[in-house]
Amino acid sequence: MKKITVPDIVKMKRIGTKIPVLTAYSHAISRILDSAGIPLLLVGDSVGMVEGGYSDTLKVTVDEIIYHTRSVVKGRRLALVVADMPFMSYHVSIEAARENAGRMVKEGGAEAVKLEGGVKMADTIRAIADIDIPVMGHIGLTPQSIHRMGGYRVQGRVDREVEGLVRDAKAVEEAGAFAVVIEGIPADVAGRITDDLSIPTIGIGAGPHCDGQVLVIHDMLGLSGDIKPSFVKQYIDLNGLISAAVKDYICDVGEGAFPGEEHVFK
Ligand code: KIV
């Protein structure tokens, strides 16, 4: 098996192969997802919510993303690793954006970075892509814009917003991004954008017409507690399985059934 590269991901759209993407934040999960055959692992700033317990992604820092990226890179063998640029790591200046993207590659080992925004971020995407750091765009429901949007709201439900999304998608492609995440928009709008672009679209809450799909790993494994967004398919109830295992352990320790003979040094 061959290491997955940015051109491989772009080619998947050209040859009509759907692109399954998952988030990963740790060495252990990265190893499992990679050996199961996931071609692209995203070290999302969602780590702040699902691992850090924050109510949004805004507090996540560059250092935190670098730490998690390093763990994911160590755990994978073949998958492409994309690191998410946190809020305020690419907004202040083009120079700061380049420097922070560079840190994610140099210190974290990421092979590409992702940042949120369309037309407004085109110059930033171009500046990072120009120093040969591949960039993945992210448009539609952009979680770092939670305060402007007034919550996690589906975007592109009215004509004016649809035209804005189409312009954002084109701007991201023209700026040199190799792929774009489209989040929280109606399926027909996502389909139109996917047809319009030559780079792959990776959907989350954007319906079946995208070139790929991404899910937050905690959501698909059933580790997100009571939060169950309607666009998520949960493939296993790890919450229940872990809880049952831990209850067995508590019982075993209480009854002296663990450690057994086989766990004892002689
Ligand atoms: O932070 C993240 O996990 C993301 C994906 C949901 C696209 O941006």
| Bond prior to 20 in cis (omega within 30° of 0) | no
Contact call for residues 7 and 81 (beta carbons, < 8 A): no
Tell me the pLDDT of the chain averaged across its residues.
Answer: 97
Looking at this protein, which amino acid is placed at residue 65?
I
Q: Given the structure tokens 């083009």, which residue do they identify?
A: 94
> Which secondary structure element, helix H or strand E, spans residue 214, and what is its range?
strand 212-215
Burial class (CB in 10 A: 0-12, 13-18, 19+), 260: exposed
Do 190 and 243 share a domain, yes or no? no
What's the gap in Å between 143 CA and the centre of ligand 1? 8
Encoded tokens for 104? 């994610």
Q: Find the length of the chain.
A: 266
* Residue 211 is assigned to a structural domain of this protein: yes
Q: Which residues of the chain carry a pLDDT beneath 70?
A: none
Residues in the ligand 1 pocket, defined by CB under 6 Å: 23, 42, 44-46, 84, 181, 183, 204, 214, 216
State pLDDT tens for residues 129-173. Answer: 999 999 999 999 999 999 999 999 999 999 999 999 999 999 999
Statement to judge: residues 48 and 102 lie in one domain: yes
pLDDT at 258: 98
Total of domains in the chain? 2
Verify that 148 and 52 share a domain, yes or no: yes
Q: Which domain holds residue 258?
A: 239-266
Q: Are residues 149 and 228 in the same domain?
A: yes
Q: What is the pLDDT at residue 1?
A: 87
Residue 1 lies in a domain: no
Ligand 1 atom at shortest distance from the alpha carbon of 183: 7
Do both 86 and 195 map to the same domain? yes
Residue-level pLDDT at 227: 78
Of the candidates 191, 171, 169, which has an alpha carbon nearest to the alpha carbon of residue 180? Answer: 169
* Statement to judge: residues 60 and 189 lie in one domain: yes
Q: What is the pLDDT of residues 37-49, one digit of tens each?
A: 999 999 999 999 9
The structure tokens listed for 192 are 């139109």
Residues 146 and 247 in one domain: no
Q: Which atom of ligand 1 is nearest to the CA of 42?
A: 3
Q: Would you give the DSSP letter of residue 184?
A: S
Per-residue pLDDT at 8? 98
Q: Is position 39 within any domain? A: yes
Q: What residues act catalytically?
A: 183
Radius of gyration over every alpha carbon of the chain, rounded to an integer in angstroms: 20
247 shares a domain with 136: no
Q: What pLDDT is stored for residue 228 in this prediction?
A: 86
Contact 33, 77 (CB under 8 A): no
Q: Kindly report the number of other CB atoms within 10 A of residue 17's CB atom.
A: 15
Task: Flag whether the pTM goes above 0.95.
Answer: yes
